[in-house]
Amino acid sequence: MSDVPDLGPMPRRITVDAEQAHRLVAGQFPQWADLPVEPVADGGWDNWTFRLGDGMLVRLPSASEYALAVEKEHRWLPLLASRLPLPVPAPLAKGEPGADYPFPWSIYQWLDGEPASAGRIADPVGFALELAGFVAALRNVDAADGPRPGKHNWFRGATLRTYEGLLESALAKLDGHVDVGPAREIWKTALDARWDGADRWFHGDLAQGNLLLEDGRLAAVIDFGTCGVGDPACDLAIAWTLLTADGRQAFRERLSVDDASWARGRGWALWKTMATCSSTLGDTGRPALEARRALTEILAEYRTSTAPTTATR
């Protein structure tokens, strides 16, 4: 399949600490040299994240592949922000390599909030509707000249077949631990579901850590490193990885998602969940438990959607 993108090898990540981040800021933005630099807990994988003073955030890509998103974010986030119903990161300055750090990097406005989780959401259906409203607004932004799928966003918005090799590896590792038969059926259904070809904007990584809550309500959406234009079905994965059954239905209805798009979204959720399940096999930590919960949701929802209906008179 020559039209399937090649993910290539895993990125070679580098380590960055607060002292190095401070030297970068002080050397390139002396007006902020006296501000404290503190690591952000659970700051993500693609970037090393530090709080700068009270109102700013430093994001330093952890590999050359992740650095490809820096220019994209600085170009497009201001435009997207003006068209979205919730706050998104506002780039304040773009840094250059220096202080033994090899990539471009960014300073953003700090956004308050705590990462979403099922236990923190006050109203699951209300949250689902707010999130769907955000996704709908993002999809309605003019996609002309937007960033097409590529290495900058790990081919979000492109065909799911990009991840087929990774999924097969995960299924092989999980065989005997989970029911891989239905998982293979879900994946095939997703691959067979056709996209209409209309480019739309997507976030690319609507996950718990990128959805911020205040008082249990959706307050902001962060980390647009995987954003782009193409097939937006990747943004539907959150319906299984975080939302409740009622929230998932409300989310789908608010977005008027057709069956083919829903099947592709389920495929995105399956790939992400299987990858986490295989990498955390035997673990009892939060990521492992959340992945197993999501897999249960995916399998149960699929069984319900394919169950034969009984006609009544």
Task: List pLDDT tens digits, range 144-155.
Answer: 999 999 999 999
The predicted pLDDT at position 312 comes to 47
Contact residues for 24 (Cβ-Cβ < 8 A; gap 6+): 58, 60, 95, 98, 99, 101, 105
State the amino acid at position 238 in one-letter form: I
Tell me which residues of the chain have a pLDDT lower than 50: 1, 312-313
**pTM of this structure:** 0.95
**294, two tokens:** 């999501």
190 with 160: CB under 8 angstroms?
yes
Q: How far is CA 287 from CA 207, 217, 278, 292, in A?
A: 12, 22, 11, 9
The predicted pLDDT at position 313 comes to 40
The predicted pLDDT at position 42 comes to 82
The predicted pLDDT at position 2 comes to 52
Q: Please tell me the distance from the alpha carbon of residue 140 to that of residue 135, in angstroms, as a whole number.
A: 9
The superfamily CATH assigns to domain 115-306 is: Aminoglycoside phosphotransferase (APH), C-terminal lobe (3.90.1200.10)
Which CATH class, in words, describes the domain spanning 18-111? Answer: alpha beta
Contact residues for 80 (Cβ-Cβ < 8 A; gap 6+): 88, 138, 141, 201, 224, 227
The predicted pLDDT at position 30 comes to 98
